[in-house]
Structure 1
Amino acid sequence: MYPIPQPALTPNTFAYESRPLVKPTGFREYDARWLFQSEINLMGVQALGLGLGTYVRRSGVRPEIVVGHDFRGYSSAIKYALIAGLMAVGLKVHDIGLALSPMAYFAQFALDVPCVAMVTASHNDNGWTGVKMGANRPLTFGPDEMAALRDIVLAADFDLAPGSYAFVADMAERYIADLLDRPKLSRRLKVVCACGNGTAGAFAPKVLEGLGCEVVPLDVEPDYTFPRYNPNPEDMKMLHAIADTVTASGAEVGLGFDGDGDRCGVVDNRGDEIFADKVGVMLARDLSAIHPGATFVVDVKSTGLYATDPVLIANGVTADYWKTGHSYIKRRVSELRALAGFEKSGHFFFGPPIGRGYDDGLVSAIAVCELLDRNPGKTLAELKDALPKTWSSPTMSPHCADEVKYRVADAVVNHFAAAKANGELIAGQPIRDLNTVNGVRVTVADGSWGLVRASSNKPELVVVVESPVSERRMHEMFEAIDAVLRRHPEVGAYNQRL
């Protein structure tokens, strides 16, 4: 019988080397994330593989799975521990080696395999590891699947059976060839390709060059120490580095990719970062002209322009504001048969006929390049300036422990619900609307809004504010939101703030 996983073990002890360590909070809403060694050990990763394979077998899904890993110093070891667990419960493993998350999703289609397990901590700091999982392409696990998996793993309730293993040597070439199976750009765009020394550096420059771009490389050499900053296109350090390179090189656009390549950040030709939700509005304008009446799914962190932009309204667009998280948006795009889904974090999901429904930062980069190609004579800055003006914050994340963050978020929801019921003013104005599909998004009379939700993959809350009126109103919304958070001593310092 496999040992019961333990929630805590001390490294460099007999117990640590002989029992699985799996901290329960690592099972998050739609993927799994742990600090390697302090929250999960290799035996714990093996237990995760045993549990995932058992879940797949009990679900009646064909027991075959694609497995890949990102470019971190410990990811390959974690992958092989995971594979050992998967094989021990009867799965056939297709190992695609070093990969981007979207390359693993693509491999599900290319190999006709139903399941996926991608070893990646995405943009998290070094020390983190995790797995993105799915058993019904192109979808990935949501809360129900993650809860069922957690219960199997923590109880060591595994169904042992013999499995098998195959290494797929050419998946990277097949993935790149699929991305480039399209007409080249009609003109040679000069593009900064920034990878933050993450996994995307092995793929993105080749794809952009194959599309017909002149590529200006920035931190494209994979280096798992991340010597400059984490590869995260929401991080202002990375965006500023891209902006400096764009202006110095005279590039038409800067494209930045996160650690596992499923997100893309954008900087315009003036060196101004464009938050991903505004990039989504620009793409929605372009695509809805080709596909009038399209539905777009957007997360609750995103700009209100999807519902108010006059061009989108004229094109008959339906905007559906939904839960933040790649698994949630992916599923919603599939359910509504939406043309695309956009997250403020930079996850974009293009459904048929553009894509297969999963998030791929390289597909997003191609879409931005094609947007410029379809609008000759207009710079990206001019396309951005054509949008109605709003003042938006970056995504701000005050620390809040995993054990209490959902309770704090619920308390904030209840606070604003009571404020609306009692007619209280927020930032000097009455509440016009509350969206509680994911935390709370409170919108006041002038259209300014603020969001608070619990992060799905880190011990943090998430705060975003926007105003269509002025920068001052954006700051007032932030102060009003932050004042509510400061009533809770469990809420710590922000990673970045206005």
Structure 2
Amino acid sequence: MSKYDYSKLQNGSDIRGIALEGVPGEAVNLNSEAAGRLARGFLFWLMQKTGKEAPDLTISIGQDPRLSGDKIAANFMQALHPYGCQILSAGLASTPAMFMSTIFSEYTADGAVMVTASHLPWNRNGLKFFDRDGGLNKGDITDIITFAESDSILNSIRPAAPREIKTIDLLNTYSAHLRRLIADGIGCSETDSPLSGMKITVDAGNGAGGFYASKVLQPLGADISSSQFLEPDGHFPNHAPNPEDKNAMEAICTQVKTCGADLGLIFDTDVDRSSAVDEKGCEISRNGIVAMAAALIADKYPGTTVVTDSITSNQLTVFLEDTLGLSHLRFKRGYKNVINKSIELCRSGIDSQLAIETSGHAAYKENYFLDDGAYLATKIVIKAAQLFREGRGISSLIADLETPAESIEIRFPILADDFVAYGDRILKDLEILTDSGQIKGASLVKPNYEGVRINFNQPSCKGWLLLRKSLHDPIMPLNIESDIPGGVHEIRRALKPLLAGYDKLDISKL
């Protein structure tokens, strides 16, 4: 049995851990040793995947501005150095840019690593891995951990003459790529200042996304003077770098209104997620960002299937299918789940051009199915510029999207030791109760791919609930939406006696 155990560092298809001391009760588990062994585990995985020896491999490494990023990236590179692979050090980068280092002809890396923990607190960090096929899946991460824990496997990698680590300016290369996309999309050259006259507010939350304002929008003529929190700062002093965070969205909405901007864009720490704010200062997030992302491709790909996570609203389905003429497949939470489902549909002969979570992870088929917040922002900017010339704002693109009257999310802790089995039992019981007609005015949504989704159709509550298990934690999230005021209360009241009998489920907030 290995003396190393890195299984707790796996978070689906990512590595995430505690990298810095300073938070009571949180001990560091992503230390120098772990980073180094995971680096060699990835090297071995990449050798197996490509059939290449270590000296024939090129691996790029970048990081977001977290306080522990420099150290972890250095540990990673030091661990790879003795094996002769070509290491490309990108420094401050975005997660999508790291993948693109496997695509851009300047680099053509075999593998790429991003040191990031997305929007998690300052003391956390992690690793995201890519090869030329895209982001690695959960099973790949499990394999890398297995390799990292094995002395015999790591010792089987033959040392070779070290090569000089190359420093690359990946963000400049990536920014030039995005500028070309905008100019081409608008139908002019970059030197024509295609964004001249537009005021665009960017909020990077002191993450890695500040480059989008200074290196993409400003060179194309946009006024970015109202942008905020562009400076990378791993303390994240202003608000969480997270488009799902209420304070973050309030901050950019207020800024857009105050400064009279034509468009607002907000990124998470590593720029694989984004949301927007329209010319009225109203947020375009959750169901809105899904609708926006779909509307941007509806004309080019009529009838395509949009794969979303499980908590999207009924109104979104109506907008996607009835207004845009697309198909909507509501699948599971988890950005890799929706991406992989979209890829699966394409391989089966069903066109699916977009996989997107309400969190802001948006992956287009035309962009390697890469969840890239800057790419989504770029498509929004192109459309906003076209509408600006017509005297319209970006809000007009999703004007027909209706919103529920009320919505709420409650998270119930599961106190049972075997929380997976206990959660499964609750879901199965609730499904049976609903299907047997014991809940007045309720009907099961079928097919349904995660948890139990129930529609309610009675005078006092028209809406739905979704009860599901968390992807990784002993939690059961409950989402409720109502089309009429007071409906959420009625649905909660109907659900409470059904869950009251489970003594290992904490429903005190229900």
Pairing 1:346–2:360 present:
yes
Task: Give the aligned residue type for 1:142.
Answer: N
Partner of 2:157: 160
| Matched position secondary structure for 2:486 | helix
Worse-matched range after superposition: 112-121 or 438-447: 438-447
What is the rounded CA distance, in whole Å, between the counterparts of 2:126 and 2:447 in structure 1? 30
Pairing 1:227–2:237 present:
yes
| Shift in CA distance, 321/152, structure 1 to aligned 2, threshold 3 Å | same
What is the rounded CA distance, in whole Å, between the counterparts of 1:154 and 1:484 in structure 2? 45
Give CA-to-partner distance per residue, 1:275-295, whole Å, 9 cap, x none.
233222133234212321222
What's the CA shift for 1:459?
Answer: 7.3
| Shift in CA distance, 370/453, structure 1 to aligned 2, threshold 3 Å | farther
The total of aligned residue pairs comes to: 471
| Shift in CA distance, 146/160, structure 1 to aligned 2, threshold 3 Å | same
Paired-residue identity, %:
23
Partner of 1:300: 310
1:79 equivalent among 70, 73, 76: 73
Partner of 1:472: 486
Partner of 2:10: 27
1:121 equivalent among 109, 113, 117: 117
Partner of 1:15: none
| Shift in CA distance, 210/386, structure 1 to aligned 2, threshold 3 Å | farther
What is the rounded CA distance, in whole Å, between the counterparts of 1:135 and 1:357 in structure 2? 13
Give CA-to-partner distance per residue, 1:411-434, whole Å, 9 cap, x none.
443233232343232xx5322315
| Matched position secondary structure for 2:89 | strand
1:333 equivalent among 332, 336, 342: 342
What is the rounded CA distance, in whole Å, between the counterparts of 1:98 and 1:30 in structure 2? 22
What's the CA shift for 1:227?
Answer: 1.1
What is the rounded CA distance, in whole Å, between the counterparts of 1:108 and 1:403 in structure 2? 43
- Pairing of 1:99-498 with structure 2 (within 5 A): 99-110=93-104, 111-137=107-133, 139-156=134-151, 157-158=153-154, 159-162=156-159, 164=162, 166-182=165-181, 183=183, 185=194, 188-215=197-224, 216-309=226-319, 312-313=321-322, 315-337=324-346, 338-352=352-366, 355-375=367-387, 376-391=390-405, 393=407, 406-407=420-421, 409-425=423-439, 428-434=440-446, 436-445=448-457, 448-456=463-471, 462-467=477-482, 469-477=483-491, 487=502, 489=504
What's the CA shift for 1:34?
Answer: 0.9
Task: Give the aligned residue type for 1:34.
Answer: G
What's the CA shift for 1:372?
Answer: 2.5
Task: Give the aligned residue type for 2:449.
Answer: V
- Checking the alignment, whether the CA contact within 8 Å between 2:203 and 2:230 is kept in structure 1 is yes
Task: Give the aligned residue type for 1:161.
Answer: R
Partner of 1:94: 88
What is the rounded CA distance, in whole Å, between the counterparts of 1:265 and 1:167 in structure 2? 34
What's the CA shift for 1:475?
Answer: 4.7
Task: Give the aligned residue type for 1:144.
Answer: G
- Checking the alignment, whether the CA contact within 8 Å between 1:277 and 1:346 is kept in structure 2 is no
| Matched position secondary structure for 1:108 | coil
What is the rounded CA distance, in whole Å, between the counterparts of 1:402 and 1:133 in structure 2? 33
Give CA-to-partner distance per residue, 1:223-266, whole Å, 9 cap, x none.
11111221011000101111111111112222111011111122
What's the CA shift for 1:395?
Answer: 6.3
- Checking the alignment, whether the CA contact within 8 Å between 1:299 and 1:323 is kept in structure 2 is yes
Partner of 1:67: 61
| Shift in CA distance, 226/305, structure 1 to aligned 2, threshold 3 Å | same
What's the CA shift for 1:57?
Answer: 2.0
| Shift in CA distance, 177/389, structure 1 to aligned 2, threshold 3 Å | same
Partner of 1:16: none
What's the CA shift for 1:116?
Answer: 2.0
What is the rounded CA distance, in whole Å, between the counterparts of 2:282 and 2:419 in structure 1? 33
Specify every segment of 5 or more residues in structure 1 that has no aligned partner in the other structure, as ranges. Answer: 8-21
- Checking the alignment, whether the CA contact within 8 Å between 2:435 and 2:443 is kept in structure 1 is no
- Checking the alignment, whether the CA contact within 8 Å between 2:442 and 2:456 is kept in structure 1 is yes
What's the CA shift for 1:203?
Answer: 3.7
- Checking the alignment, whether the CA contact within 8 Å between 1:49 and 1:84 is kept in structure 2 is no
| Matched position secondary structure for 1:82 | helix
| Matched position secondary structure for 1:448 | strand
Partner of 2:38: 48
Task: Give the aligned residue type for 2:157.
Answer: L
What is the rounded CA distance, in whole Å, between the counterparts of 1:492 and 1:153 in structure 2? 40
- Checking the alignment, whether the CA contact within 8 Å between 1:229 and 1:237 is kept in structure 2 is yes
| Shift in CA distance, 198/114, structure 1 to aligned 2, threshold 3 Å | same
| Shift in CA distance, 493/76, structure 1 to aligned 2, threshold 3 Å | farther
Give CA-to-partner distance per residue, 1:368-408, whole Å, 9 cap, x none.
22233343333344444421332464766566799866455
What's the CA shift for 1:341?
Answer: 1.7
Give CA-to-partner distance per residue, 1:175-194, whole Å, 9 cap, x none.
10000113254663322211
| Shift in CA distance, 485/356, structure 1 to aligned 2, threshold 3 Å | farther
- Checking the alignment, whether the CA contact within 8 Å between 1:262 and 1:360 is kept in structure 2 is yes
- Checking the alignment, whether the CA contact within 8 Å between 2:306 and 2:329 is kept in structure 1 is yes
What's the CA shift for 1:128?
Answer: 0.9
What is the rounded CA distance, in whole Å, between the counterparts of 2:468 and 2:33 in structure 1? 33
What is the rounded CA distance, in whole Å, between the counterparts of 1:211 and 1:402 in structure 2? 56
| Matched position secondary structure for 2:140 | helix
Greater C-alpha Rg? 2
What's the CA shift for 1:211?
Answer: 4.2
| Matched position secondary structure for 2:180 | coil
- Checking the alignment, whether the CA contact within 8 Å between 2:442 and 2:454 is kept in structure 1 is no
Task: Give the aligned residue type for 1:464.
Answer: N
Question: Normalised by the size of structure 1, how large is the TM-score?
Answer: 0.83
What is the rounded CA distance, in whole Å, between the counterparts of 2:416 and 2:247 in structure 1? 26
| Shift in CA distance, 225/329, structure 1 to aligned 2, threshold 3 Å | same
| Shift in CA distance, 258/329, structure 1 to aligned 2, threshold 3 Å | same
Give CA-to-partner distance per residue, 1:24-47, whole Å, 9 cap, x none.
222122111111252232111112
What is the rounded CA distance, in whole Å, between the counterparts of 2:495 and 2:166 in structure 1? 51
| Shift in CA distance, 435/144, structure 1 to aligned 2, threshold 3 Å | farther
